[in-house]
Structure 1
Amino acid sequence: MNARWLVLACLPGLAQAQGFAGLAGEAGEFALPERGVPPVFPEDHGPHPEFRIEWWYVTANLTGPDGTPYGLQWTLFRSALAPREAPGFDSPQIWLGHAAVTGPDTHLFTQRLARGGIGQAGVTAAPFEAFIDDWRMAGPGFDALALSASGPDFAYDVTLDAQGPLVLHGEDGFSVKSAEGQASYYYSQPFFAVEGVLSLPGGEVPVTGSAWFDHEWSSQPLSERQTGWDWFSLSFDGGEKLMGFQLREGDAGGYTYASWIEPDGALTPYVGAFEAEPLDRADLGGISVPVRWRVRLPQEGVDAEIAALNPASWNALSPPYWEGPVTVSGSHEGRGYLEMTGYE
């Protein structure tokens, strides 16, 4: 049994859980986030092996020379079997990478599997580097990063340059996810400017645009009743940004939260005020997924329609989920990204 099969065998809570439902498991000996203990940088750009699950996430809205819109995703997941780190094959840390490129008529995606302790994947805080095999997000500081990934039919190599500050969601990074109080540590860098090249089946495409980085870690971020989430990161033409999510309970919307982010990075949190209503769905291989939404945040005058650039942006990976670029129209204009898990 080689290392990659060991990864598959050791991912009961991640790779085998439809829609991330395994995130409701008991924390056990793993650490839990503490209210009033905000992240510290640059240390908290790095990994937190005492927590059960963690991810570093980039989504980007891009434009080619002819005006064609594209989306890019780069994700590194860490899942721990025990709350510690160790060298070599004694490491209980498991790593999973996802990458995708989306256009109006195409959605290309791939994944990498690895284990910790043997140099195949990992994250260091300063200088920052997150990698799995030859995929990398790295730079001398967190404000200027190079990002690359490749798959059987695509690749990308872009730079990320921060044009604004980090933002801490919830209460100084303590992000509540349920009425019962499950929570994660969660911060973003939503102000990255992007420049680089996509390598697609039709050739290389120079692109420019903007990117949104998320880093989140916890040990039990969902309650037992929650079955999945709908997560929106929206950048408006006026410079404001909105991160909003709803954690579904069955067919109901469940727990909702939104961060309203001003152009200077000032953040206003809203618990229970964010509304997301599906308007249209797509049948993706027998799975019905909402691909057009009405999103409202009345306190900030937001009443907008969110539409998928490519409704077929289904990542048939481990685990499977929908992730793709969206357009924004209505009270606000702009674009962003949408992630949906737990649809069957």
Structure 2
Amino acid sequence: MSAVSDAPAVPRTLVGIEGVSRRFGAVTALDEVSLDIRQGEFFALLGPSGCGKTTLLRILAGFESPDAGAVTLDGADLLALPAHRRPVNLMFQSYALFPHMSVARNIAYGLEREKLPRAEVRTRVAEVLATVGLTEQAARRPHQLSGGQRQRVALARAIVKRPRLLLLDEPLSALDKKVRAEMQLELKRLQHEVGITFVVVTHDQEEAMSLADRIAVMQDGRVQQVDAPVRLYERPATPFVAGFIGANNLFEGTVAGDGLSVAGLGTLPARGGFAAGAPALLGVRPESVRLGENGILTGVVADVSFYGGVSHIAVRVPGHDRPILVAAQGPSQVRAGAEVGLGWSPDDAVLIAG
């Protein structure tokens, strides 16, 4: 009898990106980027402006051609297809709604261009209006809608064509903070409901972390790390990812047997994995740092602020060039000017190759 594995099956690859490069004159927008995007997942391309994420999205959509590399969809050459024949839809940052058309007509436009039967168009538009919760707004014009509702119309227009792949370019950037948080939940719900693979481009790490099943962090045209949000946060693979994803306390030094040896600070605790003497960074998140009378380090509280149920405490430590950040639940009992000890568990610190 053969053993049956209890491990969940990894979804198959829908989009394969292999060695894709794109240059604009002297500027290298993409430098041998390789990624796999799985069937049915919400995948995020995350990075600062100019990192190449939008260029990669435009290559998937067919609006740009790479200088080198291959892109496949279900194993077939995607680059061989012109943009209008790809089973891919791109939702623009501006939404690009037709102001003179009703919500229903905006959604139906792409289907009508394909000359689908009117009955089928009506059925599909009604279904997608119900999915995005806009049935009662079907006869309204875009100017009569809120920002969140216009975003839903743009999304409905994109998914009504039933693409294999939906690309979203900074889809929530035009919304205010409260509506953006609501639409993040809505996007995630819709993605699961319609079963389409979503690829979102964003520079907002909170947005990527809340939406995506996996995230590719990009810098200067290269992929720094691809991982699930929790793994990216807890185990960044490069100094850039460690500094870009969330707040982090970073220390430079050389690997010692039980941590990182840092000039002026001594040996800071962290689990190993690197050869002794190798240059490395140690990263420890603010919520993992403990305050107390005794600690690994001693410093003076420079600032205390309270926000959203969490106190943010900045501590200056002699020999370190920037304040060490501490996040504690509830109002803090310490005040600026107090001398405090700082400590953390070796399991809460990560070593990163320098």
Shorter-normalised TM-score: what interval?
A: under 0.3
**Greater share of helix:** 2
**Greater share of strand:** 1
Asked which structure has the greater CA Rg, the reply is: 2
TM-score by length of 2: 0.22
